[in-house]
Structure 1
């Protein structure tokens, strides 16, 4: 059953400069949230307080993003190349070319959903069968869905559609719903929507009776009552893993709503709630960064974010989230250039037949 929440009116995107500032805010905000939250991942609030008190900035000597940032770059590059014409075949080919068919190396930070997807792809399974694994409900799509919202600024439904295409290789069910919600929320924020409308936009693109929708509604209802109330409303107590998409997405939107869209407060609220803190803070950072623009991100935090190191995805090494933001908000300048055999995107296109992609 589709959501009964009507898709709210969303303002038209700002001028080109304003749109780029929001795009940079969204993706740099995601990377900042990821790096801030990484040390607190899988911890309880009590454990965070015992180690650091309340986290108010980077607690690692060398802040570094995780797979959340590198997979965001991955999805952003795909959208920059294919735009609204993105298909599951494009996504599957890129997974093969950039990840599955490479020397894997340590693959640090990869979640269960990524592992399951790679195992299936290497067995010769194609999308959507490649998404049929034990962790298809994870927040692995939600963590990389912000580029769809940046690309489809002001068009939440289109952003959600593109996120679902991206996720067709790796996720299904609640995992897809979580990605759709994040993409739609970022798309609304990119157009200047208020936090209330951002949350409503997310709810409008997921089934009304889904676990994701129920968690989002509970989070929005209690967000201003504080972190403890927010955790109590959505956290699945006793479950050993923290990457449940409905839970992580609701915590992220709840942190954003509790802060009324303020970047610093949204990200720090997400970080200090623990659980899958790198992902919840990354999503909260993307939403608030899109709302407030890149200037809202403290300079010290922004300066700590450099090009991706490729610790999880070696093919993403050297790419900076700001460059991805600029690519996603740059209008076409002419005919598509000829294929570059050194470009992973071009190689992915050329190798469709090698992977039995229809």
Structure 2
């Protein structure tokens, strides 16, 4: 598989198109997957049949979109000079030291991090909680790939800096895989190159790498219908009976499996992730970011794209009013700018 690692990645217009595709794709996947979060496929089918679009009259993103905006703003402020101290300071400035939204900082890994920071613990000790393996870094990793377009290793390095405050081990690996995959796509790689780049930045013997390989292999087989394919990909990755759905190796594996099965097609990538259930908002957000960065934002159906507005700050009040497209522009260099 091709691993793209280039300093130049095409025209500014092409980069901006892919950046918009990546981050709007993330937000669309998040909003589509949110109603199916923590559900089994059978429960999804009983409620809605096969999900083919928004099942709510008022679709909205979750912590996935709001934390991606948070990381994007942080990256726009510091660029490649980003340090752990910068990240820790931003967590205090924009989250820990402010009044909380109704979802209280959102997922388990974020809650554990906020509790540790408020107790006065610093990174990497702030990431020593029971959910350091979660997909909370993977869900906010796409902006690093947008920023480091065509440079998967740099995207993986930067997202690991961000994640050191909140995650460890497999949680970091999941973020690295997503950031590198998006970076490769931003540089013009197709689905095979995206998957190769993602696998190149995580240890071969890690749970994350094994889950990704199993999902991609399962996705590449021939099936009589979409349901059979989804069952096979899910069975290749999910630990039956395990209650937590926010495992980074699982969520990232399912997202890459959906992306591989769809051969990078945006609609199919996202809907495959949604209909597999589990942590569906995150798996669909990651699949959407990957597919959107490959094909650009024109690949996102208009009825989905137009439903995405500025975030509401339900998880992070400080992010209220920002739109993912604003972040895409912040992270894309103007002609003549140095991307680093």
- Compute the displacement of 1:76 (Å): 0.2
Please point out which of 272, 279, 282 is paired with 2:282. 279
- Determine whether 1:330 maps to 2:310: no
Q: Return closer, same or farther for 1:176/1:60 CA change in 2, 3 Å cut-off.
A: same
Instruction: State whether residues 101 and 313 of structure 2, in contact with CA within 8 Å, keep that contact through their aligned partners in structure 1.
Output: no
Please point out which of 255, 272, 278 is paired with 1:252. 255
- Compute the displacement of 1:106 (Å): 2.1
Distance 2:257 2:104 in 1: 29
- Aligned counterpart, 1:349: none
SS in structure 1 of the partner of residue 111 of structure 2: helix
Instruction: State whether residues 12 and 335 of structure 2, in contact with CA within 8 Å, keep that contact through their aligned partners in structure 1.
Output: no
Distance 1:31 1:276 in 2: 15
Please point out which of 261, 265, 288 is paired with 1:262. 265
Q: Return closer, same or farther for 1:176/1:312 CA change in 2, 3 Å cut-off.
A: same
- Aligned counterpart, 1:8: 3
For these two proteins, the number of residue pairs brought into alignment is 330
TM-score (norm 2): 0.94
RMSD across aligned positions (CA)? 1.6
- Determine whether 1:148 maps to 2:144: yes
SS in structure 2 of the partner of residue 165 of structure 1: helix
Kindly provide the CA deviation profile for residues 273-297 of structure 1, in whole angstroms up to 9, marking residues without a partner as x.
Answer: 0000000000000000000000000
- Determine whether 1:183 maps to 2:186: no
- Aligned counterpart, 1:82: 78
- Determine whether 1:292 maps to 2:295: yes
Question: Equivalences for 1:93-242 in 2 at 5 Å?
Answer: 93-108=89-104, 110-225=106-221, 226-242=229-245
- Compute the displacement of 1:332 (Å): 8.9
- Compute the displacement of 1:194 (Å): 1.4
- Compute the displacement of 1:105 (Å): 3.7
- Compute the displacement of 1:104 (Å): 1.6
Distance 1:148 1:219 in 2: 24
TM-score (norm 1): 0.90
Kindly provide the CA deviation profile for residues 156-199 of structure 1, in whole angstroms up to 9, marking residues without a partner as x.
Answer: 00000000000010000000000000000000011111111111
Instruction: State whether residues 10 and 193 of structure 1, in contact with CA within 8 Å, keep that contact through their aligned partners in structure 2.
Output: no
Runs of 4+ in 1 over 6 A off after TM superposition: none
- Aligned counterpart, 1:62: 58
